[in-house]
Structure 1
Amino acid sequence: MLPLERQKGLLEFLKQNHASTVSDLAAHFQVHEATIRRDLTTLEKKGLMKRTHGGVMLEEVHSEPSFQVRESVQYEEKERIGNRAAELIEDGDNIILDSGTTTLHIAKSIKNKKNLTVVTNDINIAATLRFSKSIKVIVTGGVLFHESYMLNGMITDETLSTVNIQKAFLGTPAFHHEKGLTHFDEYLVSAKRGMIRAAKRIIVTADHTKIGRVSIHSVADINKIDDLVIGKELEEADIKRLQNTDIQLHLA
């Protein structure tokens, strides 16, 4: 087995088992422990997992890059996701667009829709839709995050508690087939939960690098999510795991 194939297998093994020891991994892949250690060093440098005392575990999401960096990462995939998600939106719908670089592409893809109402906590999204005369934009208000133009906090939560929405499109840094939707920042969880409570249909939009990852704070159980719109780069093993849930999967 080539090193790249084995490293891919290691990640798949950890996604299913969450943690392991070097000796167990060596036995599973029928290689020397030294070979496994080299593979683990490579994966750790890529930020895909982390070493523990005597073992290894799948890396949890503790933060994410700046908005400017995220805006350019997986750009073409996010653009496809935005286009595919827009196909789920019909003229006359009222929707929520969560703040994020992927949901921003949804806004770019719906500018010609008719009679939409868009509720958002993202100034970038509101600005993108400012010339769309047939789209009513409701900005939640809240505390401005200057780096990303996201709005959050008590005022955001209060606005979300007053609306009844057909479809909510949420972004996330981490999505897992068992743990569901999670986030590393407790301050951002409340608004996402408010969006979920406000909407009949919950649609998560994420590039494939977010799948199989877990962060500290739970936002929503897997059974709360109706749809997942994701890039076609998603690995076959992840597709199969998600197909075993009740989520409708849309590959862009």
Structure 2
Amino acid sequence: MTRLRKRDRQEQILLELRQHPHVRTSDLALRFGVSTETVRRDVEALSGKGLLRRAYGGAAAAPMGAQPPFGERDLARIDERARIGRSAAELVRPGEVLMIDAGSTTHQLALGLAERGRDLTILTNSLAVATALGRNKTFHIVLCPGDFMGPEAAVYGPETLDFLGRYNANRAFIGSSGLTAKGITDANLAAVAVKRTMIRQARGTFLLVDHSKFDVELVATVEPLSMLQGVVTDMQPPFLLREALHRANVRIKLA
């Protein structure tokens, strides 16, 4: 039997939890042909990313309303998210007006734009995004007002939404914690409202997600797939999700 790589094992664990609320470490170890300690390390890694929760004897599905703070997310899957950020930056042309929401992958976009972009006006609710963009002296950066949420290093609330509603943009770039055939999903309800507003105010919206977000359903659906112009990601989505994106005329850009 060919042993699965670590990433493949972890994806199989998450797939199993989409079908069953709890999985046992011993059962997974037998299936994968590895030690229970190896599976425990996989579970620990996935738990640290907020993708599941550890349970007695195994793992359980993560609550729909929970996600790790920005600082933890920003350290996970850095290589994949950096590729996505650079690939998304290639879509931007000099002189455009952008809206960029708060998130670990949009932070990587900001780093990519700072290296290659010119003469952009960018509105964001993220301190991390604004700081990264500030490295480029040709940018006009507009930081939204609002209520500061420390774990997200960003501002949210009625003032943020009202402020964004006064502006228009060529493109919005947003992240999310999940993407299903139903649409974009997220656990942070304050962030959901910001994403919806940015989508409404932009001529086109690109979603930036790595493959771990595929088929992850969380507490809120931000918008249906039809509201997206494209998805920038590191791997082809699973067949059913890919077909749903095609039906909605959503471009898939692989990093």
Partner of 1:168: 172
The amino acid of 1:135's aligned partner reads F
The yes-or-no answer on 1:76 pairing with 2:88 is no
Please point out which of 66, 69, 76 is paired with 2:69. Answer: 66
For residue 216 of structure 2, give the secondary structure of its aligned residue in structure 1. coil
Q: Which residue of 2 aligns with 1:53?
A: none
- Show the counterpart of 1:104: 107
- When residues 220 and 125 of structure 1 are mapped into structure 2, their CA distance, relative to the original with a 3 A threshold, is same
Q: Supply the AA of the counterpart residue of 1:231.
A: D
Residue among 123, 130, 140 paired with 1:136: 140
SS in 1 for 2:151: coil
Judged with a 3 Å threshold, the aligned counterparts in structure 2 of structure 1 residues 21 and 138 are, in CA distance, closer, same or farther, namely: closer
TM-score by length of 2: 0.76
After alignment, is 181-190 or 161-170 more displaced? 181-190
- Write the letter of the residue equivalent to 1:69: E
- Counterpart residue type for residue 121 of structure 1: N
Measure the CA separation in 2 of the matches of 1:60 and 1:95.
33
Q: For 2:21 and 2:79, how far apart are their aligned partners in 1? A: 37
Counterpart of 2:229?
226
SS of match in other structure, 1:220: coil
Q: Helix, strand or coil for the counterpart of 1:193? A: helix
Equivalent residues in 2 for 1:200-215 (5 A)?
200-215=203-218
Are 2:208 and 2:232, in contact at CA under 8 Å, matched by a contact in 1?
yes
Residue 196 (structure 1) aligns with? 199
TM-score (norm 1): 0.77
Aligned residue for 1:181, secondary structure, equals strand
- Work out whether residues 179 and 216 of structure 2, in 8 Å CA contact, stay in contact via their aligned partners in 1: yes
Q: Percent identity?
A: 25
Name the counterpart of 2:246. Answer: 244
Cα distance in 1, alignment partners of residues 141 and 52 from structure 2: 41
Structure 2 CA distance, aligned partners of 1:147 and 1:7?
Answer: 26
Q: 1:8 to 1:171 in 2, by over 3 A?
A: closer
Size of the aligned set, in residue pairs, is 232
Corresponding residue for residue 127 of structure 2: 123
Q: CA offsets per residue over residues 156-202 of structure 1, 9 Å max, x none? A: 001111011110000111111x2211111222221111111111101
**Structure 1 segments unaligned to the other structure (5+ residues):** 23-33, 51-56
From the superposition, tell whether residues 140 and 231 of structure 1 become closer, same or farther in structure 2 (CA, over 3 Å): same
Closer, same or farther in 2 for the Cα pair 1:103/1:10, shift >3 Å? closer
Deviation at 1:239, TM superposition (A): 6.7
Q: In structure 1, what is the Cα distance between the partners aligned to 2:65 and 2:30?
A: 24
**RMSD over equivalenced CA pairs, Å:** 3.5
Counterpart of 1:152 in structure 2 is 156
